[in-house]
A and B are shown apart, each in its own frame.
Chain A
Amino acid sequence: NAGVMQNPRHLVRRRGQEARLRCSPMKGHSHVYWYRQLPEEGLKFMVYLQKENIIDESGMPKERFSAEFPKEGPSILRIQQVVRGDSAAYFCASSLTLDRGNTEAFFGQGTRLTVV
């Protein structure tokens, strides 16, 4: 059973370009979360999605950032017109349904985005 798969592992973009980060959750998981980790800091929540729905995007910047989790295919975090401050590691996590017995989010290995 493969874990959470993120690709690419490393992504370099020039200022003004678009970055697309992909996340395939663990098999059977219908909840996906994106987090951002700046250097020497903890992870910061960005967005929580279920299939075809954004449940909580309270951590997403208002502009240039968007996320989706379509019925088929991976979840995508999209950053338009990237700036140097977007350089960070972006982590995806997935979990089963949120009943009381489920308390673990499984993380991918992250995508390190470098904006030059």
Chain B
Amino acid sequence: AQTVTQSQPEMSVQEAETVTLSCTYDTSENNYYLFWYKQPPSRQMILVIRQEAYKQQNATENRFSVNFQKAAKSFSLKISDSQLGDTAMYFCAFGYQGAQKLVFGQGTRLTINP
């Protein structure tokens, strides 16, 4: 069975700083997908970024990028030039066969301070 672990329950940084959220996972599969979701106080789950395991290049979406280390089973999220609107819970998720049956980590509560 797949498991996803986020070891940082809470993080706090100043606006404009860079912050990195950690995520490790365990699986015996070779082809899979990894995701970072953002959950603001509205509770809406918003996809931030995704990575396909067969791609060696790290995914990037504007200020968001990942450091995907397949051998170490590590998938961290880096947020550059953090903004107040980045304040939210962030969940790392594992997906075998894409979007089907995602396995989520426990989440990291990120606070961006003015």
Contacts and interface: CB of A to CB of B under 8 A. Distances in A.
Nearest to B106: A42
Interface of B: 4, 33, 37, 42-47, 50, 52, 91, 95, 97-107
B100 A98 contact: yes
Nearest to B52: A103
For the residues of B in contact with A, the DSSP-based class is loop
B43 A43 contact: no
Interface residues on A, range: 20 to 34
Given A41-B107, A43-B102, A89-B43, A98 B97 contact: yes
A33 B99 CA distance: 9
Interface in A84-116: 89, 91, 93, 95, 98, 100, 102-107, 109-110, 112
A100 B102 CA distance: 16
Listed residue (A40, A107, A110) with the most chain B CB atoms within 10 angstroms of its CB: A107
